[in-house]
């Protein structure tokens, strides 16, 4: 029963977000603040993960392609497609669920427990609109951008590792990148990143906004938010792949 009541409260929270802002300038300020927190705050970890994932992909693909009949440029194709289709959107978003998601849940949880949300309500501010909507909109803008950066950095990391270890030359890798390129793969990855961005921002916001208790409960809510977000990301990944990829 709890799951149904949670889903109901989550939907009511989403519905409650859509109200006229009391002061558009203050909301814009909050939106920019959230863009900075979610976007620039996560850029470092996203860059590190992307480069290393691309590098590891190149080495492991080369390790498995033992047949001399397969041209080396295939390594670049495989690295490109795995990075674009799966690693950049899904893995990066799972990491972002931990980085940005836990920050959103603990920030709102702390505001709830220390009565800051009540203080805003008393002032006549719609706290769902002021505190949650800018986070979701900022995530919808910044996370696809981070995913796009992750795609570029992942492929660059793969090329760098291939060249550095002598597996593949730079020119062959570049040639392989252009072979059998399907532009829809990038669109598919961006569709996934939008869906994941909504999950990463709204689920932790829900757990943080409705937290009850003290510091311990904030920690629990934060952990639960990350776990639920990760599960939903994987579930959505499967559903979107089944629906959108022609098999």
Partner 1 sequence: MIEVKNIKKAFGDKTVIQDVSSVMKAGQCNLIIGSSGSGKTVLMKCMVGLFDPDQGDVLYSGQNFTTMKGKEKTEIRKEIGMLFQGSALFDSQTVEQNVMFPLSMFTKDSYRKKLDRVNEVLARVNLVDANKKFPSELSGGMKKRVALARAIVLNPKYLFCDEPNSGLDPQTSLVIDKLIQEITIEYNITTVVNTHDMNSVMEIGNYILYMYKGNKEWEGNNKEIIFSKNQRLNDFIFASEFLRDAKDMRMLEETGKISNERDMDALLDKDAPTLVPPPDEDK
Contacts with partner 1, residue ranges (CB under 8 A): 19, 22-23, 25-26, 110, 114-116, 118-119, 121-125
Shortest distance in whole angstroms from residue 39 CB to partner 1: 18
Shortest distance in whole angstroms from residue 136 CB to partner 1: 19
Shortest distance in whole angstroms from residue 115 CB to partner 1: 4
- Whose Cβ is closer to partner 1: residue 123's or residue 231's? 123
- Whose Cβ is closer to partner 1: residue 116's or residue 241's? 116
* Half-sphere exposure at residue 142, Cβ-oriented, CA atoms within 13 angstroms: 24
**CA Rg, the chain, in Å?**
21
- Whose Cβ is closer to partner 1: residue 44's or residue 214's? 214
- Whose Cβ is closer to partner 1: residue 114's or residue 171's? 114
Shortest distance in whole angstroms from residue 207 CB to partner 1: 19
- Whose Cβ is closer to partner 1: residue 130's or residue 196's? 130
DSSP for the chain?
A: -HHHHHHHHHHHHHHHT-S--S-HHHHHHHHHHHHIIIIIHHHHHHHHHHHHHHHHHHHHHHHH---TTS-THHHHHHHHHHIIIIIIIIIHHHHHIIIIIHHHHHHHHHHHHTTHHHHHHHHT--HIIIIIHHHHHHHHHHHHHHHHHHHHHHHHHHHHHHHHTTSS-HHHHHHHHHTT--HHHHHHHHHHHHHHHHHHHHHHHHHHHT--SSHHHHHHHHHHHHHHHHHHHHHHHHHHHHHHS--
- Whose Cβ is closer to partner 1: residue 38's or residue 147's? 38
Shortest distance in whole angstroms from residue 225 CB to partner 1: 20
Burial of 117-146, coded b for 16+ CB within 10 Å and e otherwise, reads: beeeeeeebbbbbbbbbbbbbbbbbbbbbb
- Whose Cβ is closer to partner 1: residue 119's or residue 164's? 119
Shortest distance in whole angstroms from residue 36 CB to partner 1: 12
Shortest distance in whole angstroms from residue 165 CB to partner 1: 46
């Amino acid at each position: 029963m709890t799951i149904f009541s949670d889903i109901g409260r989550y939907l009511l929270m989403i519905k409650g977000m859509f109200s006229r802002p009391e002061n558009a300038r203050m909301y814009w300020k909050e939106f920019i603040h959230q863009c900075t927190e979610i976007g620039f705050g996560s850029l470092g970890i996203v860059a590190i993960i992307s480069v290393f994932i691309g590098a590891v992909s190149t080495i492991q693909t080369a390790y498995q392609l033992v047949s001399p009949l397969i041209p080396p440029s295939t390594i670049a194709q495989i690295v490109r497609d795995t990075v674009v289709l799966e690693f950049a959107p899904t893995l990066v978003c799972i990491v972002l669920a931990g980085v940005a998601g836990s920050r959103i849940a603990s920030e709102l949880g702390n505001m709830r427990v220390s009565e800051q949300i009540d203080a805003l309500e008393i002032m006549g501010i719609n706290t769902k609109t002021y505190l949650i909507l800018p986070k979701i909109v900022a995530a919808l803008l910044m996370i696809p951008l981070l995913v796009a950066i992750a795609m570029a950095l992942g492929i660059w990391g793969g090329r760098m590792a291939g060249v550095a270890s002598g597996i593949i030359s730079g020119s062959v890798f570049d040639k392989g990148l252009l072979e059998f390129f399907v532009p829809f793969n990038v669109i598919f990855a961006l569709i996934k990143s939008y869906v994941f961005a909504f999950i990463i921002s709204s689920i932790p916001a829900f757990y943080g906004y409705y937290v009850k208790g003290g510091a311990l409960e904030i920690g629990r809510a934060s952990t639960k938010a990350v776990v639920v977000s990760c599960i939903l990301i994987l579930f959505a990944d499967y559903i979107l792949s089944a629906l959108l990829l022609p098999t």
